[in-house]
Structure 1
Amino acid sequence: MAAPEVGRGHVIADTGSENAAARPGPRTLAEDLRARGDEAVAALLRARPDLVSPVPNDLTQLATRAGTRASVLRALERLDRFVLQAAEALAVAPGPCPYETLLALMTGDEEPEAGDPRGPRAGGPGPGSVAAALPGAVDVLRDNALVWGADDRLTLVRTARDLLAPSAAAPSPTGLGPTVAEATAGMSPGRLQEILADAGLPATHDPVSAVAALAGLLGERAGVRELLDLAPDGATAVLDKLVWGPPYGEVTGASEPVRAATATTPVQWLLARGVLLPAGPRNVVLPREAALSLRGGRAHREPLPVPPPLEVAAAHGPAMADATAAGQAFGAARTVEELLKSWQTGGPAVLRAGGLSVRDLKRTAVELEVPEPVAAFWLELAYGAGLLASDGEVDEVYAPTPAYDEWLLLAPQERWARLVAGWLPATRTPGAVGARDAKGRALAALGPGLDRSLAPEVRRRVLALLASLPEGAAATADSVLARLRWEWPRRGAGPDDTLSRLTRWTLEESELLGVTGRGALASFGRDVLDGSAERAAARLRPLLPEPLDHVLLQADLTAVAPGPLMAPLAEFMDTAADVESKGGATVYRFTPGSVRRALDAGRTADDLHAFLSAHSRTPVPQPLTYLIDDVARRHGRLRVGAASAYLRCDDDALLAEILADRRAAGLGLRRLAPTVLASRTEPTALLERLRGMGFAPAAESAEGDVLITRADAHRTPPRAAPVPVPDGPAVPDERLLSAAVKAIRAGDRAATAVRGPSGERRAVPRTSSAETLATVQAAVLTGDPLWIGYVNAEGAASQRVIEPVKVEGGYVTAYDHTTEEVRTFSLHRITGTAELTNGTP
């Protein structure tokens, strides 16, 4: 009778049937891959992209590469908790392992009694759910080429077994220890016979059979139970501490032989009967067979076939979540603009080792009115979007890039989409700023050492988990982390708990950036996750406040902007007034210095009056009018030019006042004419000193015209955004996968064609020129493939499988299966030919 089907591709083989005997299973992973279809090979390369770079020559090379330590480690890191548990169970099972044995290791041969301290499944998944999920787990292991063979001979790749099986240096994740055979290696035959006698077993003739007898006793749950029924008080408590791992315990005199008659402690009683075995002078170990019996046959205390659910922290209306996220998104674009505007005349210097100094980071945080970690995030966000970089000059400083000017021309929602597009795939992590690297050096914002290759995958997965919740629902951070730990149990599990930190940073950054609102993924955040920045920007647009074309002027020389301002008005207010406070409404204050700044930028008093009248919803207050007129009246009465510098003024009384002022003693002033003073001080310094004394000078050119002094915007040369540091090779596209599979198949046909039925490599065919020509011409007519030996122009010999198309002028044109292309071969360079029948010589 055929065995029942237990899952996709999982039929327990009937080893007693004639069909099974007639169809022997694969002997190696290469043979297993050779029996798979092209789609299965493509799925393997898709799941493990490191195998395709460079493209393997054939399936044998692919199998070899799939078994290397680095590749297997990378594949294990991408397994979820349950699939990894299945692999761990295979690692502790004798190989090859029948599917039924694996199922028993995952579910146990009997359910522990209630209150049994050796493994109750209180609230855990039952055997039914584990059995239902196990076929899918085996499929995943097969698809990743970590397991091969039919269900009656499941074989874990040797490298994976070495990584997951228990050893003295690295105990198994299952908590199981070595087998009886491994634990007794090196034990004297006499001591083995003593253990058999004390355990109630008959003597054997050799150590091998003695080990087998002891392993058989400990591997039977009933036998272990009968043996422990005679144990003294305390023996069960000792086993309870070791049964679920770690299997090693420390005890005095562990390696000293002890007999049942002389045993005085529970540990000695167990050592005498082989339930515990010595693992060193002061250590004992619980053998794997005994531990499995005590566990009821289960390899894991709690198999986890189902991921932990996400816990909802709060449920908001979708509209509220979108509105909150939109406000954060608008603030994000505005904060980046404010930051780069303050650095556009030249930002802080670049440290010698790269990055921003702690002092400059603190200054930036004060200017933005945010904590330093948040300031580091805005800096890295602008850097990742390609808007900020170092200028590369001798005295290297940070400055906006030319891309910043293009970014400023975009609508607010498009600016935000550009920032998010740089954040999502970035491997740089601002949260690591201030931490220490491997050499104990502090990591600086914008500096090296901030890349975490796992960050993009964590960001996308966290957003995907939030997207799986109802709209407006926010998940708890702990439940998000628990889900990621189930999905990637071997990733980020180092001493620094990388996965935990990346998850926390992602939740914080997505809230700052406006991808989430109140912890819930915004509707336009879902579009970001789908890779549609344009659709996200379009969905965000109606949620953003409309820019205003007016302010509210007040009698205390302040102006209130009740919302975002249109670009011309915002530029004017930034020039003519100082920002006093920010928030939902921005408060500007007009001061003599700010008005002078506007006049220095080329505006006149009439321009200021007209602009304020046109853009104020309230009448222009009289104090502001007086302030503008007073500053304008004094502005430019003094003229500073280059002598080193000179002062020119039509009011000679004013020049006399300056000469008499003690504060001008250091300027080196002397009168050249009633209206001209000369100075030894540079013009720029002279302007600043006079303004500090309360005067309002203006700079003039060599022709006597007033110079308009706008701050020159400093830009870096064109700079590309930082390239993410990938977490291994990228998944190849479908075209490359298809080409790779074809090349591997072609190389495999060529490789197998030159091997005989027994697998030995056959000699290169040798035929005369006449025989070669005749064979090739016949193959052209029949379309049959040929196996040829060929020597190229450099004298290198090779073997090919070709399908000749035509023979002409001493050349044969043929399709080369090795290179998957049509090529031309010189007949005189073909050393010999052999016909192929069904792909074999």
Structure 2
Amino acid sequence: MTMSRETDRTGAAPRTLAEELRARPDQALAALLRARPDLLSPVPGDLTQLATRAATRASVARALDRLDRFALQTAEALAVAPDPCPYDTLAALLTGDEPDDPRITDSLPRAVATLRQQALLWGPEDRLRLVRTVRDLLAPTPARPSPTGLGPTVAEATAGMSPGRLQQLLAAAGLPATHDPVTAVTALTELFEDRARLAALLRTAPAEARQVLDRLLWGPPYGTVTADPAPHLRWLLDRGLLLPTAPGAVVLPREVAMHLRAGRAHRHPEPVPPVLAPVTERSPATVDATAAGEALTALSTVEELLSDWETTGPLVLRAGGLSVRDLKRTATVLDCAEQTAAFWAELAHAAGLLASDGEVDERYAPTPAYDDWLQLPPERRWAHLATAWLATTRTPGLAGGKDAKGRTLAALGPGLDRTAAPEVRRRVLGLLASLAPGAAVPAEAVLARLAWEHPAGQESRARLARQALAEAELLGVTGRGALASPGRALLAGDDPAPALAPLLPEPLDHVLLQADLTAVAPGPLHRPLAQTLGVLADIESKGGATVYRFSPDSVRRALDAGRTAAELLAFLTEHSRTPVPQPLSYLIEDVARRHGTLRVGAAASYLRCDDEALLNELLADRRSAPLRLRRLAPTVLAAQAGPEELLTGLRAMGYAPAAESAEGNVLITRPDAHRTPPRSAPVPVQEGPPAPDATLLDAAVRAIRAGDRAATAERKPASTATTGGLPRTGSAETLATMQAAVLTGTTLWIGYVNADGAASQRVIAPVKVEGGFVTAYDHTADEVRTYPLHRITGVAELADETAS
């Protein structure tokens, strides 16, 4: 195994993590900061600060959570290995008695490089060292067993054991007595580490004793015994193969476990990720066509939801979100499951099309952006929804569950944000994108790969991944389990609209009227046609073809909106490829003939009709009893119910009344569309600092390097004795040194006191000296600054000019 090339400037191996970071090139430092962005908040002053921050417990725990399974297994093996650990010893811990396993030998260098890149591991390959905090988090303790299932070493388990007891262990194991506890522990450790001698000892063990060892072998290594243990347990205790940790508690020493495990730290090392299989091959054209159909359904569903909520928006719960009753009603309107309805509502909210209106009786309603969205072509509307879905941290799949305090999580309410959701969505789509176009794999294969890539928080990420797969299919990002062309563009950061546009059918300007009072739209309709038809008829089924059904209620709805029978028949004649069926004509004319015959006005309320026989029929109808009608005149009835209640009651009885104004004119009851004040789309919730871009990384690395030069540069002694750690020189010498440095390009070390009296040391390269000021490039601040000469306490040259 070759030695690591990472050495300090003198050629010696680094003695600390800070020294190793100092020897890294700028690209490696940028890679560290990119992998661990929390180290940038704020930017460390120098490399020593960076190393210190990289070793803090919170930062290390966050970095361990981002490791893949084999990199984490490698770190876990190092945590139970000697410190420092040679590379060959680490490899042996992972391969055991199979040192030629190519999967491990080929993958281990990558795992070590990952740990080193993220500053969790340092040192040359013959002395690999885990950062102490990593070892503390992964090393086994009685309260926190090691992920490897290994217990403490013999030395750790026997700490505090009496010398007499140690000698008894040696005698029972067939070892000669020693003169002190240290040599006794060493002798027992050497016995357990000697594979041949320990195997010979275990061959004499009772069969029941071997069964006990097998139960503790892969962890947890702790067990309990009674005050009078069975003979086979006594045999193990007498020879130190089980060591006491507390009264009634024992542990299997690490050295014994490693022998029984054939030298392996992990039961199942996983050096390579699971393969995405089995793969189902489908035609890319079929996948794209399926996804395009789902995209159209998504658009119509969101539009249907917001059209419904613009007149009857549900109330916002006091704690925020949608009530269970309103979610059930919405699911009924959309003809889908409640979880699916929650997804569409959350999607519209994430896209900025839906918000609360902020009024006293706060309700959800479309935003003004919804009207702009409706004017876009279908592919642009879909791209807006898909982009919002990919970035949102909202997880509607959790709606209806319980939070940590046992409270129900409501759709559109608090508690549904998961910061990992966008990352999981992107990774799920990325795995699908790695397959050939049209190829799909089972969800379990995707989940297994994600579990290997990110073992921390495996259960929660698996739930997010399942939701991402289901939502991608609903939205049309995938089709039949495979990533569609618009989905690939979306994942790549390109505009998905051009990829979707050729897949969408042209909007139609006609329907097919049928004799059973239905109309079939064989594809998507032009918006004006769809809107008018949506008032005149009810949607009976959706899919590739939408079926509308005409009924007395739907026709009355169109008449209430101000249309006449002649206008409705003319509209159907114009937009139908088939003649208007006679039953539909009769329906429209019959409802129109009866529409407005009864007139409802506001008194308490009253009912007016020129047909006395119709009023007599109404009074005789037992269903009218709740309305409490009474005759005021041959053509006028009074009701105790209000106008709205009276209208609803009469319509429920099969009549077609019309409301009238105080002047006797028929009122057109077109519902008013409600909009919220202007609202911006919600910003995804971020956990920790955002990922730094290339500009920030470059500036941060330069600032850290400059601060490190200022902190570590070797200084020549100043000509005047220094006090307080700052160079001290006279004003004439300071001026002369500055002027000489301008001519020679020398880098100087100065002491500086600012206007607040705060003293600091700086490393500068003077550029110009005039008017009592020096203009110089400040390596500490990594920028050009101007300093008054009278505030400079002194100046000294750096001993190593190349450091500048």
Of the three residues 474, 477, 491, the one matched with 1:515 is: 477
Of the three residues 96, 106, 112, the one matched with 1:132 is: 106
Aligned equivalents of 1:774, 1:668: Cα separation in 2: 113
- Tell me whether 1:554 sits opposite 2:507 in the alignment: no
Of the three residues 221, 228, 235, the one matched with 1:247 is: 221
* Superposed CA offset, 1:507-540 (max 9, x none): 22222222222222223222222122x2x33222
SS of 2:763's equivalent in the other structure is strand
The equivalent residue for 2:207 is: 233
SS of 2:400's equivalent in the other structure is coil
The equivalent residue for 1:23 is: 11
The equivalent residue for 1:439 is: 405
Of the three residues 364, 367, 372, the one matched with 1:406 is: 372
The Cα shift of 1:701 comes to 5.4
Of the three residues 94, 106, 121, the one matched with 1:106 is: 94
Normalised by the length of structure 2, the TM-score is 0.92
SS of 2:311's equivalent in the other structure is coil
User: CA distance change for structure 1 residues 668 and 788 in 2, over 3 Å: closer, same or farther?
Assistant: farther
- Tell me whether 1:211 sits opposite 2:185 in the alignment: yes
Aligned equivalents of 1:332, 1:20: Cα separation in 2: 59
The Cα shift of 1:172 comes to 1.0
- Tell me whether 1:290 sits opposite 2:256 in the alignment: yes
SS of 1:349's equivalent in the other structure is coil
Tell me if the contact between 1:767 and 1:831 (Cα under 8 Å) persists in the aligned partners: yes
The Cα shift of 1:321 comes to 2.4
Aligned equivalents of 2:453, 2:353: Cα separation in 1: 35
Tell me if the contact between 2:437 and 2:483 (Cα under 8 Å) persists in the aligned partners: yes
The equivalent residue for 1:744 is: 704
- Tell me whether 1:77 sits opposite 2:43 in the alignment: no
The Cα shift of 1:647 comes to 6.9
The Cα shift of 1:555 comes to 2.8
User: CA distance change for structure 1 residues 278 and 589 in 2, over 3 Å: closer, same or farther?
Assistant: same
User: CA distance change for structure 1 residues 449 and 277 in 2, over 3 Å: closer, same or farther?
Assistant: same
The Cα shift of 1:661 comes to 7.1
Of the three residues 782, 797, 814, the one matched with 2:744 is: 782
User: CA distance change for structure 1 residues 595 and 450 in 2, over 3 Å: closer, same or farther?
Assistant: same
- Tell me whether 1:543 sits opposite 2:531 in the alignment: no
The equivalent residue for 1:576 is: 536
Tell me if the contact between 2:8 and 2:19 (Cα under 8 Å) persists in the aligned partners: no
Tell me if the contact between 1:655 and 1:675 (Cα under 8 Å) persists in the aligned partners: no
The Cα shift of 1:22 comes to 7.4
Aligned equivalents of 1:427, 1:165: Cα separation in 2: 34
The Cα shift of 1:711 comes to 0.9
The equivalent residue for 2:773 is: 811
Tell me if the contact between 2:715 and 2:796 (Cα under 8 Å) persists in the aligned partners: no
Aligned equivalents of 1:804, 1:327: Cα separation in 2: 68
Of the three residues 483, 488, 497, the one matched with 2:454 is: 488
The Cα shift of 1:440 comes to 0.7
The equivalent residue for 1:153 is: 127
Of the three residues 192, 204, 229, the one matched with 2:166 is: 192
Aligned equivalents of 1:694, 1:23: Cα separation in 2: 97
Aligned equivalents of 2:631, 2:100: Cα separation in 1: 95
Aligned partner of 1:78: which letter? Answer: R
Aligned partner of 1:47: which letter? Answer: A
The Cα shift of 1:613 comes to 0.8
User: CA distance change for structure 1 residues 126 and 700 in 2, over 3 Å: closer, same or farther?
Assistant: farther
Normalised by the length of structure 1, the TM-score is 0.88
The equivalent residue for 1:616 is: 576
- Tell me whether 1:346 sits opposite 2:312 in the alignment: yes
* Superposed CA offset, 1:346-404 (max 9, x none): 31111111111111111222222222222222222222222222111111111112222
The equivalent residue for 2:49 is: 61
The Cα shift of 1:655 comes to 9.9
Aligned equivalents of 1:403, 1:337: Cα separation in 2: 13
SS of 1:234's equivalent in the other structure is helix
The Cα shift of 1:727 comes to 4.2
SS of 1:617's equivalent in the other structure is coil
Tell me if the contact between 1:66 and 1:145 (Cα under 8 Å) persists in the aligned partners: yes
Q: Which moved more, 1:701-710 or 1:364-373?
A: 701-710
The equivalent residue for 2:84 is: 96
Q: Which moved more, 1:606-615 or 1:687-696?
A: 687-696
Of the three residues 303, 311, 315, the one matched with 2:269 is: 303
Cα RMSD (Å) of the superposition?
3.0
Aligned partner of 1:503: which letter? Answer: A
Q: Which moved more, 1:297-306 or 1:538-547?
A: 538-547
Aligned equivalents of 2:4, 2:739: Cα separation in 1: 49
In structure 2, the gaps of 5 or more residues are none
Aligned equivalents of 1:396, 1:724: Cα separation in 2: 23
User: CA distance change for structure 1 residues 415 and 189 in 2, over 3 Å: closer, same or farther?
Assistant: same
Q: Which moved more, 1:366-375 or 1:540-549?
A: 540-549
* Superposed CA offset, 1:186-223 (max 9, x none): 10112112212222323323222221221122112122
- Tell me whether 1:710 sits opposite 2:670 in the alignment: yes
The equivalent residue for 1:729 is: 689
Tell me if the contact between 2:715 and 2:749 (Cα under 8 Å) persists in the aligned partners: no
Aligned equivalents of 2:349, 2:409: Cα separation in 1: 16
* Superposed CA offset, 1:562-608 (max 9, x none): 22221111111111122233343333232333223222222223221
* Superposed CA offset, 1:684-720 (max 9, x none): 5555455556654544556765543311111112222
- Tell me whether 1:334 sits opposite 2:308 in the alignment: no
* Superposed CA offset, 1:296-334 (max 9, x none): 322222322111112226333323222222222221221
- Tell me whether 1:466 sits opposite 2:466 in the alignment: no
- Tell me whether 1:222 sits opposite 2:196 in the alignment: yes
- Tell me whether 1:38 sits opposite 2:26 in the alignment: yes
Aligned partner of 1:492: which letter? Answer: G
User: CA distance change for structure 1 residues 77 and 599 in 2, over 3 Å: closer, same or farther?
Assistant: same
Length, aligned pairs only: 796
Aligned partner of 1:794: which letter? Answer: D
Of the three residues 458, 461, 465, the one matched with 1:503 is: 465
User: CA distance change for structure 1 residues 22 and 234 in 2, over 3 Å: closer, same or farther?
Assistant: farther
What is the percentage of aligned positions where both structures have the same residue? 68
The Cα shift of 1:654 comes to 8.1
User: CA distance change for structure 1 residues 754 and 708 in 2, over 3 Å: closer, same or farther?
Assistant: farther
Tell me if the contact between 2:715 and 2:797 (Cα under 8 Å) persists in the aligned partners: no
- Tell me whether 1:589 sits opposite 2:549 in the alignment: yes
In structure 1, the gaps of 5 or more residues are 14-18, 112-124, 257-263
The equivalent residue for 2:74 is: 86
- Tell me whether 1:175 sits opposite 2:149 in the alignment: yes
Tell me if the contact between 2:714 and 2:800 (Cα under 8 Å) persists in the aligned partners: no
The Cα shift of 1:137 comes to 1.1
Aligned equivalents of 1:643, 1:754: Cα separation in 2: 98
Tell me if the contact between 2:601 and 2:643 (Cα under 8 Å) persists in the aligned partners: yes
User: CA distance change for structure 1 residues 451 and 615 in 2, over 3 Å: closer, same or farther?
Assistant: same
User: CA distance change for structure 1 residues 724 and 611 in 2, over 3 Å: closer, same or farther?
Assistant: same
Aligned equivalents of 1:761, 1:80: Cα separation in 2: 52
SS of 1:97's equivalent in the other structure is coil
Aligned equivalents of 2:651, 2:499: Cα separation in 1: 50
* Superposed CA offset, 1:620-652 (max 9, x none): 123322333333344445666666777777x48
SS of 1:312's equivalent in the other structure is coil
Tell me if the contact between 1:164 and 1:173 (Cα under 8 Å) persists in the aligned partners: yes
- Tell me whether 1:765 sits opposite 2:753 in the alignment: no
- Tell me whether 1:367 sits opposite 2:333 in the alignment: yes
SS of 2:310's equivalent in the other structure is coil
The equivalent residue for 2:389 is: 423
Aligned partner of 2:203: which letter? Answer: D
User: CA distance change for structure 1 residues 132 and 588 in 2, over 3 Å: closer, same or farther?
Assistant: closer
Of the three residues 32, 38, 42, the one matched with 1:50 is: 38
Tell me if the contact between 1:221 and 1:294 (Cα under 8 Å) persists in the aligned partners: no
